Amino acid sequence: MTTALPDSSRAARPSILTVDDDPGVSRAVARDLRRQYGESYRIVRAESGAQALEALREIKLRGEEVAALLADYRMPEMSGIEFLEQAMDLFPVAKRVLLTAYADTDAAIQAINVVDLDHYLLKPWDPPEEKLYPVLDELLTSWEAADRQPVRQVKVVGHRWSARSYEVRDFLARNAVPFRWYELDETDCEAKRLLTASGCADADIPVVVTTSGEALVQPTDAELAARVGLTTTPSTDFYDLIVIGAGPAGLGAAVYGGSEGLRTVLVERLAAGGQAGTSSRIENYLGFPDGVSGEQLTERARRQALKFDVEMLTTRKVVSLEPRGAARVVRFDDGSELSAHTVILATGVSYRTLEAPGLGELTGRGVYYGASTTEGPSCAGQDVYLVGGANSAGQAAMYFSKHAKRVVLIVRGDSLERSMSRYLIDQLPGPGNIEVLTCTEVVGGSGKDHLETLTLRHNKTGETTTVEASWLFAFIGAAPRTEWLDGTLARDDRGFVLAGPDLLTDGATPAGWQLDRPPYHLETSLPGVFVAGDVRSDSVKRVASAVGEGAMAVTLVHRYLERS
């Protein structure tokens, strides 16, 4: 036992406990904690989950409190998440921090779902004045202000192969809403008890029980967002800037807009992060040499935007855009409107659906579009098939290789060289359970309650093969989904939005352009409306370029406002 428990004269102080199986790291964490918090808190150190739990039991028996728990994720015998889950039974309101040596989306998703994680901290945390103390200061202030009542979580009851159950879990996870999943099967008595207590039946799933005890039966995303504390209603009806889409480009625009004094509102249809938000590990983004998960990057950007007073609206679908005098007006699918001096379109792109027979009706029941990291642990010991040859597919392959028995990457082309970054191509052989099938397409699928088989075809020989499969994740194509802009903005023949020089034909301004200047670089055919990120015609499909365009668009917004 390597706990350090002070004498009884200081027993009234609440404790901060840290556990790490590396003695050097464990001592370093405790040293930094004592230096900053030793006067007000008892610092307890352990080198295994079992030792840490024993220390917590002693503290519990003495009637003392624990303010915070810092646990290393990858420990033998008991992981950090497993430790935190057991620690919650003893000290349910203690703040929980997970430490890891590199970005691990699976750890974050599990921790959000299982232990209501308060923060996810990458090692090393040096200097602690920048990376450790600000995080703990905020958590400890929150703990001291709390009423010490047991932590309450959103509960989701549903079937494993229910498409809507999957969508609800994915929505909550991507919006960083802590929840616990109760799978309705013959072995989960608690799921049945929850349904009985809420007056619901098996046919009502998914059922979401909010922290206030309200049972939501098959809720829509908008109903769910409103009940779990997400903002869906704007505080006013006019802004300086409306940003549509909360992927990297939209978040970049929102952060820069808010930081430069523009009254900014960010509108998102589903969840912040876009496609990048589901990436398990992004390793070529500037400033993160050890990689960063899309979820972590998204959460940091979201918090940054809120810091600059940006309003963020969730589950609001924009269906039209129009000029109205000097204002630019967006209309939502419920008929309501929002106006601003300027608009930045950052709606990104969506994965194209697979047109193979039998797959459409299995979406959400074994067939998924995007990484869907909530499903990772469920794939343990099974074969997982991925369709696509770009970075998103490569990142997903590396992620699922940690869970699945075998990961099969299906690529239509004859190699990955033209579509995937070299660092990912070099990583794929590493896990030892990733196979790449080139010149191959999915031409069919079947299953009763969920996906059971896939039919694959070699596109050069024409030979087909049917394989058993319960999991298929597709990462193909890039559809801009800009049909709602018909008649409003100029687009190319694939639906991507044209801007700046791309609008000029033989030096002439676009039809209907009424200003005495040509469009700014990211300005669309409607003055005052700008575009950034993947939805722009001929854009570079990378996170860094999207963030950069979002920032650049705000600079052009200022130029537009100065001349208006």
Which pLDDT tens digit goes with each residue over 337-349? 999 999 999 999 9
pLDDT of residue 81 exceeding 70? yes
Q: Quick one: tokens of 412?
A: 């239509």
Using DSSP bridges, classify how beta strands 66-72 and 15-19 pair: parallel, antiparallel or unpaired. Answer: parallel
- Residue at token pair 């909550």: 172
> Do the domains at 8-145 and 238-350+479-563 have one common CATH topology?
no
Fold classified for 154-225: Glutaredoxin (3.40.30)
Lowest average pLDDT, out of 123-132, 133-142, 158-167, goes to 123-132
pLDDT cut 90: percent of the chain above it: 64
Span 180-210, pLDDT tens digits? 888 887 665 778 888 888 888 888 999 999 9
The whole-number average pLDDT for the span 160-189 is 86
Chain centroid to Cα 521, Å, comes to: 30
d(CA 473, CA 397): 10
pLDDT of residue 422 exceeding 80? yes
Lowest average pLDDT, out of 91-105, 208-222, 324-338, 456-470, goes to 91-105
Q: What integer pLDDT is reported at residue 458 of this predicted model?
A: 97
Span 539-563, pLDDT tens digits? 988 899 999 999 999 999 999 999 8
Q: Quick one: tokens of 357?
A: 């027979």
The whole-number average pLDDT for the span 239-243 is 98
Q: Amino acid identity, residue 426? A: D
The whole-number average pLDDT for the span 411-418 is 94
Fold classified for 8-145: Rossmann fold (3.40.50)
pTM of the model: 0.75
Sheet of strand 95-100: strand arrangement? 42-46, 15-19, 66-72, 95-100, 119-122
Confidence of residue 293 (pLDDT cuts 50, 70, 90): confident
Confidence of residue 211 (pLDDT cuts 50, 70, 90): confident
Domain residue limits, the chain: 8-145, 154-225, 238-350+479-563, 360-474
Fold classified for 360-474: FAD/NAD(P)-binding domain (3.50.50)
Confidence of residue 114 (pLDDT cuts 50, 70, 90): low
Whether CATH 2.40.30.10 fits 238-350+479-563: no
Enter the DSSP assignment of 287: T
- Residue at token pair 């950052």: 346
Buried b (16+ CB within 10 A) or exposed e, 516-538: eebbbebbbbbbbbbbbbbbbbe
